[in-house]
Structure 1
């Protein structure tokens, strides 16, 4: 069975990712987020945790990058799906470099324009989508509907 890595930070990003679980049927899915207690939401699946990162603390991104490299080497996914936020860009980049198909779903919270992470993901991921038709049209990406 092909492997899929589903990655999202906490809060609403994680909730949106969980709502996609039915779409992951047919894959051996492992998850990445920031909180160990999220394992309760994905029983039977592997959950890897990464530290939080902020643009205000550049060193935090180095820690995430190293952990992402370790997780990607261990999981070797065929596909990577992310609902954000910025720390998850490392999984999109590494997935692309490792030959995995990559998908970035910009958060539904971004109703007027894509997030800054989404704009970066558009350059890295095989496919980047918005959950708002107006945003998708303005940003030159597709809208496949909304998760929430």
Structure 2
């Protein structure tokens, strides 16, 4: 049986880093999700979903984000959810873990070179695999460092 994976991130550098992981999913049934509909071209022929971007400046969009992520998760039913960080990734990991009991992987953005991001610090509780891309941020109790995607 082919493992079902949902790879999700916000825009910009998070999306670039997620795309660099694309070949890690070879042989798996992978779907991608991010905030811009036109990102689908970057990952064709894989399935792609868009969702509203939410951050600390537009928290009023949390309910629409949650509804959209639940719909994506229920349609895809991933066994594993991977994110390269950001608040939407944290929400997706939390929902996947609680609704589907999916395995979850958090890879904090390479931009966070001095400390884990705020969402990354919160992801520790929901992530089965909790990673930083900076070796000096790795700790015995997490995050771990397995390398960098850039």
Instruction: Kindly report the root-mean-square deviation, in angstroms, between the aligned alpha carbons of the 2 structures.
Output: 1.3
Contact residue 84 and residue 117 of structure 1 kept, 8 A: yes
Which residue of 1 is the match for residue 52 of structure 2?
51
Report the Cα distance in structure 1 between the residues aligned to 2:88 and 2:144, rounded to whole angstroms. 23
Q: Deviations over 1:80-103 (max 9, x none)?
A: 000021111121011112121100
Report the Cα distance in structure 2 between the residues aligned to 1:117 and 1:61, rounded to whole angstroms. 14
Contact residue 131 and residue 142 of structure 2 kept, 8 A: no
Report the Cα distance in structure 2 between the residues aligned to 1:54 and 1:142, rounded to whole angstroms. 25
Contact residue 11 and residue 35 of structure 2 kept, 8 A: yes
Which residue of 2 is the match for residue 5 of structure 1?
6
Report the Cα distance in structure 2 between the residues aligned to 1:60 and 1:138, rounded to whole angstroms. 36
Unaligned runs of 5+ in 1: none
Contact residue 114 and residue 139 of structure 1 kept, 8 A: no
Unaligned runs of 5+ in 2: none
Match of 2:102 among 100, 103, 114: 100
Q: Tell me the secondary structure at the aligned position of residue 124 of structure 1.
A: coil
Q: Which of structure 1's runs of 4+ aligned residues deviate more than 6 A?
A: none
Matched length: 148
